[in-house]
Amino acid sequence: MEKKLAVVALGGNALLRGDQAGTIDEQEQNTTETLENLIFLINEGYDLVITHGNGPQVGNILMRNDAGEQIYNIAQMPVDICVADSQGGIGYMIERMFRNVLNKHGIEKNVVCIVTSILVDNGDPAFSDPQKRIGKIYTKEQADELNLKKGWIFKEEIKNDGGYRRVVPSPVPIDIMNHSIIRDLARKGNIVIAAGGGGVPVYIDEKKDVRPAEAVIDKDLASSLLASLIGADEFYILTDVPYVYINYKKPDQQVREFLNYEDARKYLNEGQFSKGSMAPKIQACLNFIKKGGKMGVITEAFKLADTKYGSKITMEYEDERR
């Protein structure tokens, strides 16, 4: 009998907390604590594919880019290379920490990281309306100069005492390169780390060549697409809250532990979920369920093994917990 296949998307707080400096010691400790929760799935007989975010890390890479150019005249690398850099660095860290966690539990498994390119449509409307903020905050004068020199687009920051940040497109992912290899490796019992940070966005030009896109892809949407393409049974998004809520942080806040497809879509359309945080997670789970996935789960990074936590989204209501 074939094992169940699960894709587990590690959110930003699974690697780096908001109140931390971002040292490698902090990231390794956070990663280890998160991966300990995944032993539960291995013991339950699941094959695993892991995806992850890269927001703070790729932001730091972009700022190093800036500093290198300004201080040492080192040529800046484009966004796709920075995303690939973050995939390699974070993937290596997850791989090494997971090998140590497996060793602690006496489990013998290979762990492999794949730097993943993800196909987008170069005509996606996002390219004409970039909204995703990346990199450091600049003054108005600096932003204007960089706009003239590099063609970068900036938007004013409302938070953090103002200033301007570069914005890039966030197109919808339409295919994942090497997804069949990811599936085959996972189905042979290997733990695969892929599609980190939403993957490296690329498009196919008129010559059928693969070209880089100066963009970033939503990690949850990319992870959902990967889960569908490889035929995963379940899709987990690990974040910083234990449940999905409606009327979040209001006096009438309510937990939604079980959601069917139609109710989740209704709440999403009503604007119950923040566009910058929970909404893309709900959309990612709905995409997965619509394409045949059995269950999407959104829960806190360190509560996966405790089945009394987590919101489960299915096509119809489940009569009992998983």
Distance, in Å, from the CA atom of 12 to the CA atom of 28, rounded to the nearest integer, reads 13
Active-site pick, 11, 13, 59, 199? 13
Active-site pick, 65, 132, 135, 293? 132
Active-site pick, 53, 196, 281, 287? 281
Active-site pick, 11, 12, 91, 198? 12
CB 224, CB 198: distance < 8 Å: no
Closest CA to 9 of 284, 270, 203, 265: 284
Closest CA to 2 of 46, 49, 43: 46
Tokens read off for 312: 């489960």
Q: In degrees to the nearest 10, what's the CA dihedral of 113, 304, 22, 152?
A: 70
Tokens read off for 233: 């049974």
Q: Max alpha carbon distance in the chain (Å)?
A: 63
Active-site pick, 59, 219, 287, 312? 219
Q: Is 91 a catalytic residue?
A: no
CB 226, CB 6: distance < 8 Å: no
Q: Is 312 a catalytic residue?
A: no
Q: Is 281 a catalytic residue?
A: yes
Indicate which residues carry an active-site annotation. Answer: 12-13, 132, 219, 281
